[in-house]
Amino acid sequence: MMYYLQGLTMGLAYVAPIGLQNLFVINTALTQKKQRVFLTALIVIFFDVTLALACFFGIGAVMERSKILEMAVLLIGSIIVMLIGFGLIRSKDTMDHSTNVNIPILKVISTACVVTWFNPQALIDGSMMLGAFKATLPAGQELHFILGVASASFSWFLGISAVISLFSAKLTDKVLRVINIVCGVVVMIYGVKLAYSFITMLL
């Protein structure tokens, strides 16, 4: 139980800070119907947990041994992330729930995949945090720890989806527009930061 709780607290510390995944889930909770909101949360959880597993079992080591792979992930990730941010800034979402705002499920899946697996910072941070912690665990306790990390992902993303959905009715189109712009700017900054890291590696 102790190592499960350690994994839970470590997982919460990993997913709680505002990042691409959180911005995607929050924006979805503000604009989509509840059924789609929780489906989106589950899709994000799937990619988040699989990323945590990959980081826990050594994806960082692969990136460290291949500078070309690391640079490719940085370049592709920066472009895609900036496009996502630009799309948020231009978004004209409305709080009118009578409007059909459901986007194709394949787009939800692809976007959730991009904001998780094409985020080099998440790959690097996750590998360092989870990979380093794995080395400190007693033999046979890895499963308890990673189950705790997975539980944190479920609790966090389902929790913020529920909270945002409950209060979305009190938000106006103007507030939503401001949120979209702020989220878009934050995402664009992420993208610029990744592009800067790529350029630094070239020099």
Q: How far apart are CA 77 and CA 60, in angstroms?
A: 16
Residue 95 lies in a domain: yes
Number of domains forming the structure of the chain:
1
Q: Is residue 181 part of a domain?
A: yes
- Written as one letter, the residue type at 138 is P
154: left (phi over 0), alpha (psi -120 to 50) or beta: alpha
- Domain assignment of residue 5, yes or no: no
Task: State the residue range of the domain holding 102.
Answer: 20-202
Task: Identify whether 49 is part of a domain.
Answer: yes
Instruction: Report d(CA 31, CA 36) in Å as an integer.
Output: 10
**Is 94 within a domain?**
yes
pLDDT digits (tens, 9 = 90+) for 121-173: 677 767 767 766 776 678 788 889 899 999 999 999 999 899 888 877 676 77
5: which residues sit within 8 A by CB, 6+ positions away?
148
Are residues 165 and 29 in contact, defined by beta-carbon separation less than 8 angstroms? yes
What's the pTM value of the predicted model, to 2 decimals?
0.71
